[in-house]
Structure 1
Amino acid sequence: MNNNLVLQTDFGLSDGAVSAMYGVAISVNPGIRIFDLTHDIPQYNIWEGSYRLYQTVAYWPEGTVFVSVVDPGVGSERRSIVAKTALGQYIVTPDNGTLTHIKSCIGIEEVRMIDESVNRLPNSGESYTFHGRDVYAYTGARLSSNIITFEQVGPEVPVDSVIELPKDEPKITNQVLTGNIDILDVRFGNLWTNIDRKLLKDLAADYGDSFEVTIENDTRQVYKNIMTYGRTFADIHLGEPLLYVNSLDKIGVAINQGSFAKAYHIETGASWKISIRKIPKIVYN
């Protein structure tokens, strides 16, 4: 381990919950290095917690320990686990779907169930509502500080038994590329899809080409319009929409200096679909 502990929660920073997790980790090891992934996951939104791990984990060194707590089932029979990724990082989390994107996009090498008889904050056994502090931060700090080994977390469980959320794969049918709106680029309101750049290239896409883009959810069509595939936002005029390649090499949808999500009230997850069809390039005189 490398003494790095990275925390993600849906707790926000308006009360002492995150600070308590810091305190537990520092009490385990005063020299531990603690970083925040985010504490602004929308309440109970396991899907977004899963995606933010995928967005971040691969860029951290081998041996980094992540603690991810988006846990609407806290205190229930859901398992508490630590997963070792195929890249060598560790994720301490409830087994509720939080590892969906890591499992499918990065890979999980091994999983262990946390043995709370030894990996739980002392004198916390009567509390069942703050496992983020009492189990996950405590176990994560002990693991990242080499106080325990991965094997001492608890018994191994099959990787195939890890809970996954429904997650469709993008595909091309009759020259129409379909996928999901996986997440938002929150601050700017851009849409990030699960469509890989290489898959868009299978439609013979080049920068400057025009595409018909349709977005719908389970109940209705929300958006349909023609937009340009651009290399940068500077490739289009202010206020125009575009397709672009985001920082994860996936296709994004944006409005130049505007929020696409707010403009069209678009949300994210498995129920939000996007379709992309190449059309003849539009030339404005």
Structure 2
Amino acid sequence: MKKTVKKIVLQTDFGLEDGAVSAMYGVAFSVDSSLGIYNLTHEIPQYNIWEASYRLYQTVNYWPQETVFVSVVDPGVGTERLSVVAKTADNHYIVTPDNGTLTHIHESIGVVEVRQIDESVNRLPNSGESYTFHGRDVYVYTAARLAAGVISFEEVGPICDLNKIVSLPHHQAEVVENKIVGNVAILDGRFGNLWTNISRELLFDYGVKYGDNIEVTISNSYTIFYQNKIQIGQSFAKSHVGDPILFINSLDKLGVAINQGSFAGAHHIQSGDNWKIQIKK
């Protein structure tokens, strides 16, 4: 019988310029050299918990059940924030600080149980005086022990109250006064596209159809960064190079782009709950 490789997927804001990510690999392999370790990304903007939360939402469902994710975007390292392991409704595990990183997963997939990491047991030996690299000393060590079957989920530590898990402020897309109001949930950074939280279902229930020209307004607080009509197309091939286009992205959400250009760069737009987008027929 073919052996199943137990999988760990890493996400951080560390980058790859130094040895931090490699050290995490080494700790995991020291627990069990047969583990499969993969990168989600190490290019989360420094301290950007919102983006860490979204990238998990973008990725987790495409991995097999029982994959263990480690997400370390941790501006509160060394404070009283909890270190936890969450079990999702689809039977994945996420090892992370309790700082809002679970926001999108809890909303979209569901978190069924969270346990605080008991560092008296689940901490890299001889690392007790280190308070600045929990990604290495606590998170990946616990993840490796869980993935390898050294500990069960119950042995991670005491159960947490789900109602007290930290959630980032965020608003659902909705129809308000005959307009769809949502947010720019994330940037498709390499290409400069905007990914919104407006679902295809909401958009087409509102009455939009492919080929329509839609009035799009993007703002932050009281400042409008973009306002114009854009056609919604089924693919980029339906527009000319340099033209703006609305499209449905790989998560079945509305995207905003410039064909072979950067919409975000051209209009100085960023992402987060405070970046609002309005759609009007």
* TM-score with structure 2 setting the length: 0.98
Q: Which of 69, 74, 88 is the equivalent residue of 2:72? A: 69
Question: Which residue of the partner structure matches residue 45 of structure 1?
Answer: 48
Contact 1:215 1:224 in 2 (8 A): yes
Match of 1:54 in 2: 57
| 1:253 lines up with 2:248 in the alignment | no
CA distance in 2 between counterparts of 1:240 and 1:249 reads: 22
Which blocks of at least 5 consecutive residues in structure 2 are unaligned? none
Select the residue among 99, 103, 106 that pairs with 1:100: 103
Q: Which amino acid aligns with 1:217?
A: N
Instruction: Name the residue aligned to 2:34.
Output: 31
Q: CA deviation at 1:2?
A: 5.6
- Alignment-derived partner of residue 158 in structure 2: 155
Report the CA distance between 1:234 and its aligned residue: 1.1
- Determine helix, strand or coil for the equivalent of 1:74: coil
Taking every aligned residue pair, what percent have the same amino acid on both sides?
64
Is this contact kept in 1: 2:5–2:35, CA < 8 A? no
Match of 1:143 in 2: 146
Residue 219 of structure 1 and its aligned partner are, at CA, apart by 3.8
Give, in whole Å, the separation in 2 of the partners of 1:271 and 1:246: 21
- RMSD (Å) for aligned C-alpha atoms: 0.9
Aligned-partner SS, 2:216: strand
After TM superposition, where is structure 1 displaced by more than 2 Å over at least 4 residues in a row? none
Question: In the alignment, residue 218 of structure 1 is paired with which amino acid?
Answer: S
1:204 deviates by 1.1
2:3 pairs with 1:5: no
Matched residues in 1 for 2:28 and 2:241: separation? 47
The equivalent position to 2:238 in structure 1, one of 235, 240, 243, is 235
SS of alignment partner, residue 136 of structure 2: helix
SS at match of 1:84: strand
- CA distance in 1 between partners of 2:121 and 2:81 (Å): 18
Asked if the contact 1:2/1:145 (under 8 Å) is kept, the reply is no
Q: Does the CA contact (< 8 Å) of 2:213 and 2:231 recur in 1?
A: yes
Between the aligned partners of 2:21 and 2:168, the Cα distance in structure 1 is: 26
Quick check: 1:118 aligned with 2:129?
A: no
Alignment map for 1:209-220 (pairs within 5 Å): 209-220=212-223
The question of whether the paired residues in 2 share the 8 Å contact of 1:208 and 1:230 is answered with yes
Post-superposition CA distance 1:24-78 (Å, at most 9, x none) = 0000001110000000000000000000000000111110000000000001000
Query: Quick one: distance in 2 between partners of 1:133 and 1:233?
Result: 42
Letter in structure 2 aligned against 1:126? E
Aligned residue for 2:112? 109
Q: Which amino acid aligns with 2:120?
A: S
**Among candidates 266, 270, 273, match of residue 270 of structure 1:** 273
> What CA distance in whole angstroms lies between the structure 2 residues aligned with 1:209 and 1:110?
44
Pairs aligned (count): 278
* Aligned residue number for residue 227 of structure 2: 224
Aligned-partner Cα distance in 1 for 2:74–2:185: 20
2:206 equivalent in structure 1: 203
Write the deviation string for residues 204-223 of structure 1: whole angstroms up to 9, x where unpaired.
Answer: 11110110000000240100
Q: Distance in 2 between matches of 1:42 and 1:173?
A: 32
- One-letter amino acid matched to 1:169: Q
State the distance in 2 between where 1:18 and 1:216 align: 37
Match of 2:137 among 122, 134, 138: 134
Task: Tell me the distance in 2 between the aligned counterparts of 1:229 and 1:67.
Answer: 37
Unaligned runs of 5+ residues in structure 1 are 279-285
User: How far does residue 235 in structure 1 lie from its aligned partner after superposition?
Assistant: 1.2
Aligned to 1:283: none
Name the CA distance, whole Å, in 2 between partners of 1:207 and 1:59.
28
